[in-house]
Structure 1
Amino acid sequence: MKIYNNLKINHQTGKMLFFLQLMLFSVLGFAQSEQTEFIQYRGEVVNEQNGKAISSAYLSLNNSNISTITNSDGEFSLKVPKDMTDATVTISVLGFQSKTLPLTYFKARDTEIVLSETVEELTEISIFKATDAQSLVREMLDRKDVNYLTDQSLMTSFYRETIKKGWSNVSLSEAVVKISKSPNNSAQRDLVSIYRARKSTDYNKLDTIALKLRGGPFNTLYLDMMKYSEYVLRPEMLNSYKFSFDEPTKINDRYTYVVDFAEIDHSDPWYYGKLFIDAATSSLVKASYSLNVDDRDAAAAMFVKKKPGGSKVYPVELNYQVDYAQNGDDKWHYAYGKAQMEYVVNWKKKIFNSRYKINSEMVVTDWERFTDKNWRKTMDLINPNIVMVDDISGFYDSEFWGNNNIIEPEKSIQNAIDKIKRKLDDN
Structure 2
Amino acid sequence: MGNLTISNNLKGALFPLVCVILFLCSNTVFALSILQEDINDEYIEYSGIVVDSESGNALVFASLTVKTTNISTITNSDGQFLLKVPKSINDAVVIISYIGYDTKEISVSQLKQKDNRIELINSIIQLSEINLVLPADAKELVKTTLKRKGENNVNQPVLMTAFYRETIKKGRKNASLAEAIVNVYKQPYTSPKNDNIELFKARKSTDYSKLDTVALKLQGGPYNPLYIDLMKYPEYIFNKDLINLYRFSFEPSTTINGKPVYVVYFEQINSIVEPLYYGKLFIDSKTLALKSAIYNLNVENKELTSNLFVRKKPNNITVYPTNAAYRVDYREKNGKWYYGYANVQLTFKVKRKGKWFASNYSLTSEMAITDWKFNLNNEKLKNREKLKKSVVISDEASGFSDPEFWGAYNVIEPEKSIESAIEKIKKQLKKANKG
TM-score between the two structures when normalised by the length of structure 1: 0.70
The residue number in structure 2 matching 1:209 is 214
**2:22 matched residue in structure 1:** 21
How much does 1:184 deviate? 1.1
Question: Aligned AA for 2:63?
Answer: S
| Aligned equivalent of 1:5 | none
For residues 285-300 of structure 1, the aligned pairs below 5 Å read 285-300=291-306
Among 307, 325, 331, the residue aligned to 1:325: 331
Name the CA distance, whole Å, in 2 between partners of 1:254 and 1:338. Answer: 23
- Paired residue for 2:166, among 161, 165, 169? 161
Question: How far 1:236 moved relative to its partner?
Answer: 3.7
Pick the aligned partner of 1:272 from 264, 278, 283. 278
1:56 to partner: Cα distance:
7.6
Q: 2:185 aligns with which of 172, 180, 183?
A: 180
Describe the superposition over 1:134-166 as per-residue Cα deviations: whole angstroms up to 9, x where unpaired.
111111111111100011100111111100001
Query: What is the match of residue 315 of structure 1?
Result: 321
User: Kindly, what percent of the aligned residue pairs are identical?
Assistant: 40
CA contact (8 A) 1:273 1:287 kept: yes
User: In structure 2, what is the Cα distance between the partners aligned to 1:279 and 1:69?
Assistant: 32
Task: Indicate the larger mover: 260-269 or 318-327.
Answer: 260-269
- Find the residue that maps to 2:167 and give its secondary structure: strand
Aligned residues: 334
| Whole-angstrom CA distance in 1 between matches of 2:408 and 2:135 | 44
Is the Cα–Cα contact under 8 Å of residues 193 and 379 in structure 1 kept in the other structure?
no
Task: Provide closer, same or farther for how the CA distance between residues 139 and 170 of structure 1 changes in structure 2, counting only shifts above 3 A.
Answer: same
CA drift of 1:128 comes to: 2.5
Give the CA deviation at 1:375. Answer: 4.5
Distance 1:118 1:166, change over 3 A: closer
| Matches of 1:202 and 1:372, distance apart in 2 | 43
Note the C-alpha offset of 1:295. Answer: 0.9
Question: In the alignment, is residue 147 of structure 1 matched against residue 148 of structure 2?
Answer: no
> For the residues of structure 2 that align with 1:412 and 1:277, how far apart are their CA atoms?
25
Q: Residue type matched to 2:320 in 1?
A: Y
**Secondary structure of 2:287's aligned partner:** coil
Shift in alpha-carbon separation, 1:159–1:121, aligned structure 2, 3 A:
same
**Equivalent-residue separation in structure 2 for 1:412 and 1:336 (angstroms):** 12
For 1:279, the aligned partner's letter is S
SS at match of 2:10: coil
Is 1:370 the counterpart of 2:369 in the alignment?
no
Unaligned stretches of 5+ residues in structure 2: 1-6, 26-49, 51-60, 75-81, 86-96, 104-119, 419-435
Contact 2:83 2:416 in 1 (8 A): no
C-alpha distance in structure 2 between counterparts of 1:270 and 1:263, whole Å? 6
Mark the runs of 5 or more structure 1 residues left unpaired by the alignment.
Answer: 1-8, 25-46, 48-52, 58-67, 77-91, 99-115, 414-427
Whole-Å separation in 1 of the counterparts to 2:417 and 2:342: 20
Q: Which residue is 2:73 aligned to?
A: 71
Deviations 1:68-118 (A, max 9, x none): 995327899xxxxxxxxxxxxxxx9734799xxxxxxxxxxxxxxxxx999
Query: What is the CA RMSD across the aligned residues, in angstroms?
Result: 3.5
Structure 1 Cα separation of the partners of residues 415 and 398 of structure 2: 21
Deviations 1:231-252 (A, max 9, x none): 1111343221100000100011
| Aligned pairs (5 A) from 1:94-243 | 94-95=99-100, 121-124=125-128, 126-243=131-248
Q: Deviation at 1:293?
A: 1.0
